[in-house]
């Protein structure tokens, strides 16, 4: 049995500190619903077009409203999209402003229910939330001797809110994350102490909030294999250093994902047929895929035991180790960004992620580099065998991860990830016959 699927890339195609990627002929037709900082409705602005299609991008919306209406706004959250892919099209956002806007039309009955609160709403998506966050950032940066001179909103979505904070010593980046990523600041703090220069430098860090210094260089989306090999080696050296710090990382609430726990989580996602958001967006997995997944689950204990026998240890993993999450500057070691997905689990998952999109010889070269590093770190282990066995589990992990995102966000933001659960389930079904 082979279930054919074209998996969408997990790459979000955007990083702070560089240009955003635009798609020719694709943009967003944006409607902005306005409220004041107390949450009281102001009105709705006429629709307008922005070139950048990526829904979380806020800068272009803020700039357009300033240019068209002379108003300063903060984008709070997504409230409506048209059915379809997770970028472009007609998109409606909620934004706050502290002054009346003459061009704002009264809200319709269809708009008002979307202003209701939700228990899973992120702090930065609530009225007054950005103001509290930015006040905290200004206070902490002033105490650190780098007062904030200006603020630019870059991104807001269910996984983070990001502002650029201008200082006399150069730009910094304020990142706020949801509870399931709240360990990222602690991970960055540990990385800065244990392996300096390999991750962004945290200037201020608290659970769920971090202000990072600027990282020079370019993000390497679609980097060829020869550029990815130093990234692989750098990550494994970080992971080898983390082997002696696992208790410390656990104490900072870095989550663990034992492969046996992954099995239980995967069973839950399969039993829910991907979850409500996924079913609404793309339907249930077909019967032949479900049958293949059942066979995969039935053999998972033996596969997990075989992986353990390979001797590659649990360590700190990045969790989304694609080349776009690596910034490279001439003469410097690669700097690995975005550690919110980090988890203590099998490091082979990161290798499989960085190999995506490479031709066969490039993927083989990445595996060889990764395996050599692990044999040096843990003599006697069998990294190549572990990678051969991990493929189906990596796809199950992707499905579990996206289902977890959907479980932790409000329904208006389901469109960000509703189409991301089914492809890895089908890919895992495709791999169900791979020998364990």
pLDDT tens string 80-104: 998 767 789 999 999 999 998 989 9
CA dist 134 → 140, 243, 368 (Å): 10, 36, 45
* Structure letter (DSSP) for residue 343: E
Between CA 3 and CA 265 the distance in angstroms is: 22
Tell me the residue length of the chain.
436
CB count within 10 Å of CB 176 equals 25
pLDDT tens column, 186-244: 999 999 999 999 999 999 999 999 999 999 888 888 899 999 999 999 999 999 999 99
CB distance 400 to 259 below 8 Å:
no
At how many degrees (to 10) do helices 422-430 and 259-271 cross?
Answer: 110
Q: What is the pLDDT of residue 340?
A: 97
Place of tokens 């390979």: 310
CB distance 89 to 28 below 8 Å:
yes
Place of tokens 């319709």: 108
Q: What is the pLDDT of residue 222?
A: 85
More confident residue, 221 or 3: 221
Sign of CA dihedral 404, 409, 414, 417: negative
Q: What is the pLDDT of residue 330?
A: 84
357 pLDDT higher than 50:
yes
Between CA 205 and CA 211 the distance in angstroms is: 6
**16-35 per-residue burial string, b: 16 or more CB within 10 A, e: under 16:** bbeebbeeeeebbebbbbbb
Regarding pTM above 0.85, the answer is: yes
Q: Which residues pair with 433 in a beta bridge?
A: none
* pLDDT (average), residues 134-159: 97
Task: Give the closest residue to 275 by CA, choosing from 424, 82, 55.
Answer: 424
Cα end-to-end span (Å), the chain = 17
Round the CA-based radius of gyration of the chain to a whole number and report it: 22
Q: What is the pLDDT of residue 277?
A: 95
Mean pLDDT taken over the chain: 91
318 pLDDT higher than 50:
yes
Q: Is 186 exposed, middle or buried (0-12, 13-18, 19+ CB in 10 A)?
A: buried
CA 209, distance to chain mean position in Å, is: 15
109 pLDDT band, cuts 50/70/90, is confident
Sign of CA dihedral 318, 322, 327, 329: positive
Tell me whether strands 41-44 and 28-35 are parallel, antiparallel or unpaired.
Answer: antiparallel
Between CA 66 and CA 290 the distance in angstroms is: 51
* Structure letter (DSSP) for residue 386: H
111 pLDDT band, cuts 50/70/90, is confident
* pLDDT (average), residues 41-54: 94
CB distance 209 to 52 below 8 Å:
no
More confident residue, 109 or 222: 222
401 pLDDT higher than 90:
yes
CA dist 218 → 17, 270, 323, 329 (Å): 9, 39, 11, 7
Task: Give the closest residue to 122 by CA, choosing from 162, 165, 76.
Answer: 76
338 pLDDT higher than 70:
yes
CB distance 361 to 225 below 8 Å:
yes
CB count within 10 Å of CB 359 equals 10
25 pLDDT band, cuts 50/70/90, is low
Domains contained in the chain, CATH given: 28-116 (no CATH), 129-213 (3.30.200.20), 218-430 (3.90.1200.10)
Q: Which residues pair with 210 in a beta bridge?
A: 175, 205
Between CA 220 and CA 354 the distance in angstroms is: 11
Task: Give the closest residue to 9 by CA, choosing from 434, 402, 409, 408.
Answer: 402
DSSP 71-113: ---EEEEEEEE-SSSSSSEEEEEEEE-SS--TTPBPPPTTTGG
Q: Which residues pair with 343 in a beta bridge?
A: 317
């Amino acid at each position: 049995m082979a279930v054919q699927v074209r998996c969408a890339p997990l790459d979000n195609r955007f990083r702070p500190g560089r240009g955003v990627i635009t798609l020719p002929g694709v943009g967003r037709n944006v409607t902005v619903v306005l409220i004041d900082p107390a949450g009281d409705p102001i009105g709705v602005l006429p629709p307008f077009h922005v070139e950048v299609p990526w829904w979380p991008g806020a800068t272009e919306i803020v700039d357009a409203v300033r240019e068209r209406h002379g108003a300063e706004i903060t984008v709070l959250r997504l409230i409506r999209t048209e059915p379809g892919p997770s970028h472009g099209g007609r998109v409606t956002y909620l934004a706050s402003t502290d002054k009346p806007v003459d061009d704002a039309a009264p809200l319709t009955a269809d708009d008002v229910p979307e202003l209701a609160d939700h228990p899973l709403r992120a702090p930065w998506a609530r009225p007054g939330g950005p103001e509290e966050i930015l006040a905290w950032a200004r206070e902490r940066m002033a105490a650190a001797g780098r007062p904030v001179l200006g603020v630019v909103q870059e991104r807001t979505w269910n996984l983070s809110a990001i502002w650029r904070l201008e200082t006399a010593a150069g730009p910094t980046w304020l990142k706020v994350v949801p509870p399931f990523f709240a360990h990222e600041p602690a991970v960055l703090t540990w990385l800065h102490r244990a392996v300096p220069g390999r991750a962004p430098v945290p200037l201020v860090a608290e659970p769920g909030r971090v202000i990072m210094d600027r990282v020079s260089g370019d993000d390497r989306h679609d980097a060829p294999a020869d550029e990815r090999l130093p990234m692989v080696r750098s990550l494994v050296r970080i992971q080898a250093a983390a082997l002696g710090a696992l208790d410390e990382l656990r104490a900072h609430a870095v989550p663990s994902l034992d492969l046996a726990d992954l099995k239980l989580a995967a069973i839950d996602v399969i039993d829910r047929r991907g979850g409500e958001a996924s079913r609404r967006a793309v339907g249930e997995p077909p019967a032949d895929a479900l049958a293949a997944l059942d066979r995969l689950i039935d053999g998972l204990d033996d596969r997990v035991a075989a992986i353990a026998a390979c001797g590659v240890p649990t360590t700190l993993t990045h969790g989304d180790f694609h080349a776009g999450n690596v910034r490279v500057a001439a003469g410097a070691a690669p700097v690995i960004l975005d550690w919110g997905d980090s988890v203590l689990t099998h490091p082979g998952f990161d290798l499989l992620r960085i190999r995506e999109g490479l031709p066969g010889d490039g993927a083989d070269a990445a595996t060889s580099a990764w395996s050599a590093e692990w044999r040096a770190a843990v003599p006697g282990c069998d990294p190549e065998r572990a990678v051969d066995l991990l493929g189906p589990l990596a796809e199950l992990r992707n499905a579990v991860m996206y289902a977890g995102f959907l479980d932790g966000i409000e329904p208006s933001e389901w469109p960000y990830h509703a189409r991301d659960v089914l492809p890895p389930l089908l890919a895992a079904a495709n791999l169900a016959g791979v020998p364990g």
